[in-house]
Amino acid sequence: MASSEVAIPQITDLYRSVADLGGIINQATLIEAIPLSLHNALGFENIFLFLVDRGKLKHASQYLLSPLPEKTFRALSGLHLKLDQNPGLRKAFQNKTIILEKKPKPTLGKDRNLGKLVKLLKPAALLLVPLAFADEALGLLWINLDPKKKISDRLLSALKVFADSASLALENAFLYREAWETSKTYRSILEQLGDGVIMIEPDNKISLYNAAAEEMLNFPPEEILHRKDLDVLHINDWHGKRLSGGEESLSNLVAKTGVYAGNAFIRALDNHLVAVSAFVRQIRSTRNEVAGTVFIFRNISKELETERTRREFVYLASHELRTPLTAIKGFLDMIVEGDAGEANPTVIEYVKNAYEGVERLLRLVEDLLNVSRIEEGKISINPQSVEIVSEIKTLISDLLPTAQRRGLYLEFEPPTKDIPPIEVDPDRLREIMVNLVGNAIKFTNSGGVTVALQSKGEELIISIKDTGIGIAEKDLPNLFKRFYRVAISTAAEKHGTGLGLYIVKTLIEMMGGRVWVESKLGQGSTFSFSIPTKPVGDLVKSE
Amino acid sequence: MTKKILLIEDDPLLTKMYRKKFEQEGFAVETALNGAGGLEKIKDFRPDLVLLEVVKEIDELKKFFTEIKAEPETKNTRVIILANLPISQLDQVNAKNLGALDILQKADFTPEKMAEKIKAFLEE
């Protein structure tokens, strides 16, 4: 062992060593560097670094003036110090105090391994320097001292400064490694995702372009990464509005709202358009500054194709069904009218039954057609100025024969005050009323139906009240859903397609109104809907 | 004098149905399968009323009416459009702007009612 005096530390050497350690983020490099750095800073000559691994201190690196035999290292790697069996060490960690053993003996401490280490490393005198960050023990510097040299207070405080810096550097390197591994995990998840993910920095440059995005758009990453989204991503929504490209950037799209979701087309490498379901979200830092934009998209071409085929089928089928049904209805009517000669009363009765069946089929086909038109966005609302009271009176007188055939009354309860003409689509209003009043008549066996109109604030409320069979509570929430049918065991023949109320709700909402129902089983139902009397700015218009 | 009706309809069943009914009601009936054939028949047959079913696109309808109006002999031909689908008020306005007397949804009219409607138009 060298017998040189431990020099008074030079503040510049200490400063340089500490600064060097702080700059090392690689954990392995840092572990090698700490003992060497301690030597450079404070002149110690035989230094071992132990690191905490799951509650045990394990040898990690060293700085030695003269090398140790191989078998010493082997023995060293097996000697772990358990923190919970070393109250003295634990206390040193808690208080960050340096332990100085002037004559360490193999009986040092309660942990037998501590004694074995003394036996193995043979320190004439020993310094134990805990490395800790906050309350967490990170490691231990074991310094073999020359007993002849004096340890000044100044040296001890310099050693403390070094220990604090080494601890901070170790913690940083650990956090860096953890962050790197986390980001590696996230990165590999992003690469495995079936959805395309593109990250855009606040300067609009693309910083991430995952494998799924590449597969959909075919652009090689070098043509996308680090370029501005408006230069390389050409995205339009389904109405042709530009979301990215030219002057528009996705970051502008979400600048105000923070989020965008909708269907869009993205131009791929060979100029073909990929139909996607797009989601764009602004990312904010913990300080609430805009930190970028994330764009997530899923290829929906296949779904669209399937959906288009399905809708085309429904549209075509319902369209094509009408022609033969009209012919059947016409010929049956001609038999009843006597155009084919006189038929006996039973024939007439049966033909009338067949006629009713055809009428029902035609109504079902019409419902299907309406739904497919709604789904294709082919239904438009064309508001006109309408005298609502007389319009409803006309509707009621048209529906009166149907009510009378079932022995029911159909009344109109006019509003208490005059209602000026309102802007409403008369065709849609008729469809809604025919459906709701038709249902009321269909499901009422005695009594009748009252239609009431009243003005409330900026809307008109039309309600259709019947004395019918009513609706069970469990059915109420589902009533306006597509294809939902209330199970009525006693009136199976009255089943429809389950589309009527869905159509009614959709049309009412397209006109800016609401629909609701109050009902009790056996006590009748009241369906009400509202029509805004002030023109709704952005009515859904299509075609 | 016997009134003449031209039915432009491509479905054989419906053609047969209307022809039977209208003939029973005392009309002379001719039929055509498409717009072009219909225009030919208008010139030869000189119907009092045309029931037009097959032409559905608005541009084709415009062309049909333009051609009728171009000839002095046919320009006063009265046309009713028959529709397979429900008709909106907008369709009504469009049909009348083109020069049709009316637009009727086939399924709403039994042959009996259709014949009544035609008689009413021809009496005007």
Q: Return the residue in A326, A339, A361, A364 with the most chain B beta carbons within 10 A, the one to mutate for interface testing.
A: A326
Any CB–CB contact under 8 A between A427 and chain B? yes
pLDDT at A294 (0 to 100): 95
Chain A residues with CB-CB distance to B18 below 8 A: 330
Q: Which among A319, A326, A366 has the least Cβ separation from residue B106?
A: A326
What distance in Å separates residue A225's CA from the closest CA in chain B?
49
Q: Which among B11, B14, B107 has the least Cβ separation from residue A362?
A: B107
Q: Do the chains contact at A323 and B24, CB–CB below 8 Å?
A: no
Q: Do the chains contact at A339 and B107, CB–CB below 8 Å?
A: no
Distance of alpha carbon A221 from alpha carbon A214, whole angstroms: 7
Q: Which of residues 85-114 of B touch A (CB under 8 A)?
A: 85-86, 88-90, 106-107, 110-112
Q: Return the residue in A319, A339, A366, A398 with the most chain B beta carbons within 10 A, the one to mutate for interface testing.
A: A339
CA A327 to chain centre: 52
* Residue A340 in tokens: 């084919």
Q: Return the residue in B7, B84, B93, B108 with the most chain A beta carbons within 10 A, the one to mutate for interface testing.
A: B84
What distance in Å separates residue B52's CA from the closest CA in chain A?
15
Chain B residues with CB-CB distance to A322 below 8 A: 84-85, 106-107
Any CB–CB contact under 8 A between A369 and chain B? yes
Q: Do the chains contact at A334 and B86, CB–CB below 8 Å?
A: no
A83 burial via Cβ count (<10 Å: 0-12, 13-18, 19+): middle
Q: Which among B84, B86, B89 has the least Cβ separation from residue A426?
A: B89
Q: Which among A319, A322, A333 has the least Cβ separation from residue B112?
A: A333
Report the percentage of chain B scoring pLDDT > 70: 98
Any CB–CB contact under 8 A between A324 and chain B? yes
- Crossing angle for the helix pair A112-121 and A70-78, to the nearest 10 degrees: 170
Q: Which among B20, B89, B107 has the least Cβ separation from residue A322?
A: B107
What distance in Å separates residue A369's CA from the closest CA in chain B?
9
DSSP string of A146-208, one letter each residue: -TTS---HHHHHHHHHHHHHHHHHHHHHHHHHHHHHHHHHHHHHHHH-SSEEEEE-TTSBEEE
Q: What residues contact residue A211 under an 8 Å CB cut-off, 6+ apart?
A: A191, A192
Residues β-bridged to residue A515: A529
Q: Do the chains contact at B14 and A323, CB–CB below 8 Å?
A: yes
CA A274 to chain centre: 22
Q: Report ipTM (2 d.p.).
A: 0.81
List the single residue in A with minimal CA-CA distance to B114.
A330
Distance of alpha carbon A322 from alpha carbon B86, whole angstroms: 11
Any CB–CB contact under 8 A between A542 and chain B? no
B58-91 pLDDT, tens digit each: 788 888 999 999 988 888 899 999 988 777 777 7
Any CB–CB contact under 8 A between B60 and chain A? no
B35 touches B64 (CB < 8 A): yes
What distance in Å separates residue B124's CA from the closest CA in chain A?
25
Chain A residues with CB-CB distance to B21 below 8 A: 330, 334, 339
Q: What residues contact residue A255 under an 8 Å CB cut-off, 6+ apart?
A: A282
pLDDT at A103 (0 to 100): 86
Chain B residues with CB-CB distance to A382 below 8 A: 88-90
pLDDT at A495 (0 to 100): 55
What distance in Å separates residue B68's CA from the closest CA in chain A?
27
What distance in Å separates residue A289's CA from the closest CA in chain B?
52
Q: Which among A334, A362, A382 has the least Cβ separation from residue B21?
A: A334
Q: Do the chains contact at A329 and B107, CB–CB below 8 Å?
A: yes
Distance of alpha carbon A412 from alpha carbon A474, whole angstroms: 30
Distance of alpha carbon A265 from alpha carbon A275, whole angstroms: 5
pLDDT at A385 (0 to 100): 86
Q: Which among B11, B17, B89 has the least Cβ separation from residue A331?
A: B17
pLDDT at B60 (0 to 100): 84
Q: Which among A319, A334, A382 has the least Cβ separation from residue B84?
A: A319
Average pLDDT in chain B: 89
Q: What residues contact residue A437 under an 8 Å CB cut-off, 6+ apart?
A: A395, A396, A399, A410, A449, A451, A464
pLDDT at A9 (0 to 100): 61
Q: Return the residue in A314, A323, A373 with the most chain B beta carbons within 10 A, the one to mutate for interface testing.
A: A323
Chain A residues with CB-CB distance to B110 below 8 A: 329-330, 333-334, 337
List the single residue in A with minimal CA-CA distance to B89.
A427
DSSP string of A418-443, one letter each residue: ----EEE-HHHHHHHHHHHHHHHHHT
Chain B residues with CB-CB distance to A364 below 8 A: none
SS3 A462: strand
pLDDT at A496 (0 to 100): 63
Residue A325, CB half-sphere, CA atoms under 13 Å: how many?
22
Written as tens digits, the pLDDT of chain B (124 aa) is: 899 999 999 888 999 999 999 999 999 999 999 888 999 999 999 999 999 987 777 788 888 999 999 988 888 899 999 988 777 777 788 888 888 999 998 888 889 999 999 999 998 7
Q: Do the chains contact at B107 and A334, CB–CB below 8 Å?
A: no
pLDDT at A497 (0 to 100): 65
Q: Do the chains contact at A427 and B88, CB–CB below 8 Å?
A: yes
Q: What is the mean pLDDT of each run of 10 residues along chain A (543 residues)?
A: 53 84 90 94 92 92 90 90 84 88 80 88 92 91 89 89 93 92 90 93 93 94 93 88 89 91 92 92 91 94 86 79 90 91 91 89 83 77 87 92 91 88 89 92 92 90 94 85 66 62 90 92 92 61 37
Distance of alpha carbon A184 from alpha carbon A187, whole angstroms: 5
